[in-house]
Amino acid sequence: MATMKFLCDSKRCIECNGCVTACKNENEHALEWGIQRRRVVTIHDGERGEASISVACMHCSDAPCMAVCPADCFYRTEDGVILHNKDKCIGCGYCLYACPFGAPQFKKNGAFGSRGKMDKCTFCSGGPEENHSEAERAKYGSNRIAEGKLPMCAELCATKALLAGDAEVVSNVFRERVAYRGADNAAWK
Amino acid sequence: MNKLFTRIGLAFVLLFSALSFAADKPAPEQPVDNGLLWAQLKDGATGYTTSQSEFHAMPINHYDLRVLELRSDWLAPGLMAALFGMIIIFALFIMVNGISKLHHGFSGKMVHRWSKFDISIHWLGAIPCLTLILTGLTLLAGRFFLQPFVSEGFWASFVSIGKQIHNIMAFPFMLGWLLMTLLWAKNQMPKMYDVKWFLVVGGYINFGPFKGKHPDAGFANAGEKMWFWTFALFGLVISASGLLLIFPNVFEPSRTMSLISLVLHGVSAIIICAFSIVHIFMATVMSEGGMDCMISGYCDENWATQHHNLWYDEIKANGTLQYKD
């Protein structure tokens, strides 16, 4: 099976936040107020050397979140996507501490500052519930992978800076770009 | 023609104005180096983002990834060993060595040793401590040692309840720890005779050259003192790291700080757990007549003379010895 990855080409990202909006819209009610699974970070904003990258869960092959979770709520799909089971999540926040990319998020509304269920990017492939079920939609949002489609953020990227798909295919696309224009280490992957 | 000159003149003015602006910035600008950009990102460079979520301005938080293995490969089995391993070792030790009996039996005369307040702060710390060990073991090691043997639904509710109990019980534990540490420290100061106590392992070994030895001990013997100071120190570490983890909204620790707290919390838990098992064994099984102290607050006179001779002599001499009515 494929190994799904995101890649963001920092030479193409124009910080339009279209991916953020696409994600929010696609996963609608699963994203509670204040949670955004994807964000665009601009380094050296307004200075020479400014570069923007779109960051979300990178679906690591050796995912640190998976290693620290006391409830063992994470699992890897056959596409190499890291998903989590919200029914198991205890809201301890350890995955947020362990994740290098700040992907896991919690809504803060409990007593003593306790956290709710963790939410993060699912690579638009839902959760452990039955594909396209009400429960899956409510907890995890969209499941485009089950429909044979790629994540909405990458599909709607206007400059095709953000690519999603099988690691090999995605890096071939990027390599072809580099062959034409250079900047071989401009990719966030 | 005139118009043309105006345009050329304007272009000249603009050209020199641009030059003059450039002259204000003496530093020659380096060409953009992507390698440098990634190096900066890996060092934790932050940027601008519209996201309001925690830590979102930093694309990469760098930390030592060995923390992950430390937790799963060392701390989780370590806490299992500190609980079950110590129980097995101590049970075997007692089977081989036998318990420490009172040589002259029970005298029936009970000597006042602990006040009712002392007993209550002991249990204020002790009962939460036991629940914290069990729930903490679930949170640290449960996924390796329990989850494979139970259903998914049971595991989900078990670990969730475990976390709730762990968070709640932390508070009576910390209060008990604070009171015990502050109020009991005066009786726990190390003395020279404590060294001799260690040399004969407290007189608890019933064979070889150690048999029948009764080293001197004051109100607390050297082993109890060691437990007290270990508990005081690691109780502080476990309380501080626990508070950091339970109130991230108050302390706002960095992610790396939280991971360090997590490791310190686990290390402290292993040490406190191992000592707790020894402490419980000593009080309930090993030392005949020892448990009375933390139930009634009185100990048998023969127990006092056998295990805490210096303390007994002292209270007898200064007249503070009180018998139970």
Question: Can you state the angle between helices B255-281 and B116-145, rounded to 10 degrees?
Answer: 120
- Which residue, A48, A171, A101, A41, is CA-closest to B33? A48
Find, among A116, A37, A41, the residue nearest to A83 by Cα: A37
Taking 60 as the threshold, does the pLDDT of residue B28 lie above it?
no
At A152, list the tokens: 């909405």
Confidence of residue B5 (pLDDT cuts 50, 70, 90): low
Q: Is B59 on the interface with A (CB under 8 A)?
A: yes
So what's the pLDDT on residue B15? 46
Instruction: For tokens 């000597």, name the residue.
Output: B111
Are the Cβ atoms of B259 and A97 closer than 8 angstroms?
Answer: yes
- pLDDT tens digits for B195-222? 888 888 888 888 777 777 788 899 999 9
Range of the structural domain that residue A67 is part of = 4-188
Q: What is the ipTM of this complex?
A: 0.89
Please state, for a pLDDT cut of 90, what percent of chain B lies above it.
67
- Tell me which chain A residues have a C-beta less than 8 angstroms from the C-beta of B163: 70, 90-92
In tens, the pLDDT along A67-111 reads 999 999 999 999 999 999 999 999 999 999 999 999 999 886 655
How high does pLDDT run on average in chain A?
92
**Model confidence band, residue A121 (pLDDT cutoffs 50, 70, 90):** very high
Name the band, by pLDDT with cuts 50, 70 and 90, for residue B134: very high
Ranking A72-76, A179-183, B131-135, B175-179 by mean pLDDT, the lowest is A179-183
Exposed (0-12), middle (13-18) or buried (19+): which is B144, by Cβ within 10 Å?
Answer: middle
Interface of B with A in 131-190 (CB under 8 A): 138-140, 142-143, 147, 152, 155-156, 159-160, 163, 167
Q: Which pLDDT score is estimated for B259?
A: 95
Residue ranges covered by each domain of chain B: 66-318
Q: How far apart are CA A68 and CA A45, in angstroms?
A: 34
Count of domains observed in chain A: 1
Give the CATH number, domain containing residue A63.
3.30.70.20
Give the model's pLDDT for residue B26: 46
Kindly state whether B249 is in contact with chain A, defined as any CB-CB distance less than 8 angstroms.
Answer: yes
Superfamily assignment of B66-318 in CATH? Transmembrane di-heme cytochromes, Chain C (1.20.950.20)
Q: What angle do CA A109, A137, A98 make, to 5 degrees?
A: 50
Q: Given pLDDT bands bounded at 50, 70 and 90, which one contains residue B101?
A: confident
**Which strand (E) or helix (H) includes residue B224?**
helix B222-246
User: In chain B, how many H helices and how many E strands?
Assistant: 13, 2
Of B38, B67, B255, nearest to A185 by CB-CB distance is B38
- Residue of higher predicted confidence among B175 and A1: B175
Residues B28-41 have a mean pLDDT of: 70
3-state SS, one letter per residue, for A40-62: EEEECCCCCCCEEEEECCCCCCC
Strand A39-43 versus strand A51-55 pairing type: antiparallel
Q: Compute the average pLDDT of residues B249-277.
A: 95
Reported pTM: 0.88
> What is the distance between the alpha carbons of residues B135 and B129, in angstroms, rounded to a whole number?
10
